[in-house]
A and B are shown apart, each in its own frame.
Chain A
Amino acid sequence: QKEVEQDPGPLSVPEGAIVSLNCTYSNSAFQYFMWYRQYSRKGPELLMYTYSSGNKEDGRFTAQVDKSSKYISLFIRDSQPSDSATYLCASASGTYKYIFGTGTRLKVLA
Chain B
Amino acid sequence: KAGVTQTPRYLIKTRGQQVTLSCSPISGHRSVSWYQQTPGQGLQFLFEYFSETQRNKGNFPGRFSGRQFSNSRSEMNVSTLELGDSALYLCASSRTSGGAGADTQYFGPGTRLTVL
**Which of A13-21, A42-50, A66-74 has 4 or more CB atoms under 8 Å from chain B?**
A42-50
Would you call B48 an interface residue if the criterion is a C-beta within 8 Å of the partner chain's C-beta atoms?
yes
State whether A94 touches B42 (Cβ < 8 A).
no
Would you call B41 an interface residue if the criterion is a C-beta within 8 Å of the partner chain's C-beta atoms?
yes
**Chain A residues near B107 (CB, 8 Å)?**
36, 43-45
Would you call B2 an interface residue if the criterion is a C-beta within 8 Å of the partner chain's C-beta atoms?
no
Q: Mark B88-105, 1 if CB is under 8 A from A, else 0.
A: 001010000111110011
A-B interface contact total, Cβ < 8 Å: 67
Minimum CB–CB distance from B76 to chain A (whole Å) comes to 15
Known A43-B110, A97-B45, A102-B42; contact A32-B101, beta-carbon cutoff 8 A = yes
State whether A44 touches B90 (Cβ < 8 A).
yes
Minimum CB–CB distance from B57 to chain A (whole Å) comes to 9
Minimum CB–CB distance from B92 to chain A (whole Å) comes to 8
Minimum CB–CB distance from A93 to chain B (whole Å) comes to 8
Docked Cα-Cα span, A49 to B108, in Å, equals 18
Docked Cα-Cα span, A49 to B102, in Å, equals 12
**Chain A residues near B48 (CB, 8 Å)?**
96
State whether A43 touches B41 (Cβ < 8 A).
no
Partner of B56 from the list A41, A49, A96, A100 (CB cut-off 8 Å) is: A96
State whether B43 touches A43 (Cβ < 8 A).
no
Partner of B42 from the list A46, A51, A101 (CB cut-off 8 Å) is: A101
Mark B residues whose CB is within 8 Å of A. Answer: 4, 35, 39-45, 48, 55-56, 58, 90, 92, 97-101, 104-110
